[in-house]
Amino acid sequence: KYDYIISNPPFFSRSLKAPSPDRNLARHNDNSLPFKHLISGASRLLCKSGRFGLVLPAIQAEPFIVMIKAVGLKVVRRLNVQPYPDAAPNRVLLEFSSIYQPVHTGELAIRERSGNYTDSYQKLTRDFYLNF
């Protein structure tokens, strides 16, 4: 059993595909990893106090949350990711646990309208980018 499982599942559906089959497999769900299989696998492999984290398109977050509640996992953290401060979120980072906790929520804008990365995004990712 695992303490933490993290996933960035393929989530593009019925969209323009790349010439590379490997790239398409990584990015397009086309039934390669349905949510019900991802959820059942994570719930089966987590230890009792384990957590499951993933990134999803914002439009898929609520249906996923409804599905995962059926296996006893609850949202404990949610970060809505926006391309710009005044834009609607396009991605959501979610963390689930079977142990009840207050939900921590937040927002993260990637870029300022000027095109520069926001201070918050730079602080969060500076260990991974040389130019920050």
**pLDDT at position 19, please?**
72
Q: How far is CA 14 from the centre of its chain?
A: 20
pLDDT at position 23: 57
pLDDT tens per residue across span 85-131: 999 999 999 999 999 999 999 999 999 999 999 999 999 999 998 88
pLDDT tens per residue across span 2-53? 999 999 987 666 566 567 666 545 454 555 678 999 999 999 999 999 999 9
Domains identified in the chain and CATH numbers: 2-125 (3.40.50.150)
Q: In what order do the strands lie in the sheet with 46-57?
A: 2-7, 46-57, 91-97, 74-82, 104-109
